[in-house]
A and B are shown apart, each in its own frame.
Chain A
Amino acid sequence: SQQGEEDPQALSIQEGENATMNCSYKTSINNLQWYRQNSGRGLVHLILIRSNEREKHSGRLRVTLDTSKKSSSLLITASRAADTASYFCATDAMFSGGYNKLIFGAGTRLAVHP
């Protein structure tokens, strides 16, 4: 079963508006990561937030983490048409080999209209 679930599944906004995507997960984590995927391409890492951090910024991106609610949010401020992509959260999960692995959610499809 998937560890992380994004909400909403799809989001359509106008250029200049802010976009907020949410991620909920089921079990305790060491860190949570956000990735972006442009159509037909591989995923690109955006930001990693550790379980002892509450907020992290990178340019126009702001990520928050609430471990008590097992949730995270990704905020893109002043969105641009070039931000149109799918966004995924990924959380670590322990596997039998003793190594933590990244488990991805189904993603949020963001469309930014000029």
Chain B
Amino acid sequence: NAGVTQTPKFQVLKTGQSMTLQCAQDMNHEYMSWYRQDPGMGLRLIHYSVGAGITDQGEVPNGYNVSRSTTEDFPLRLLSAAPSQTSVYFCASSFLGSRGGANSPLHFGNGTRLTVT
């Protein structure tokens, strides 16, 4: 079982460049989410999805876009990278509980370390 797979593992961008962080899961989880982790800040929720075609914003959505065309994939797009987006990005998925993903344990990928210069 691959679990949650994130690619790439590392990325360096220049300010203004765009890129897509990939996330795929093979556990048939309805719920998928993106978090960013910064020193001393813990993890902050960027966007989440409760199924194909359904996405919504989290705590820090500005500068990021998402879409969910399949159950397995949930890519995160940075349209115009900024130095403030330097961070470690984690994708996580779970089954959808009665009130959303917060009722089920999250399965995390190993992260994408992004540096924007």
Contact = CB atoms under 8 A, between A and B. Distances in A.
Interface of A: 2, 30-31, 33, 35, 40-45, 48, 88, 90, 92-93, 95-107
SS of B interface (majority)? strand
B100 A45 contact: no
Contacts of A31: 102-103
B32 to A, nearest CB: 12
A92 B110 contact: no
Contacts of B42: 2, 88, 104-107
A95 B45 CA distance: 11
Contact of A41 (B35, B48, B102, B110): B110
A83 B57 CA distance: 34
Chain B interface residue number, banded: 20 to 34
A106 B39 CA distance: 8
B75 to A, nearest CB: 17
Interface of B: 4, 33, 35, 40-45, 48, 50, 56-59, 90, 92, 97, 99-103, 105-111
A97 B47 CA distance: 12
Most buried by B among A98, A102, A105: A102
B35 A104 contact: yes
Most buried by A among B35, B90, B101, B103: B103
A97 B42 CA distance: 23
A30 B92 CA distance: 20
Most buried by A among B40, B106, B109: B106
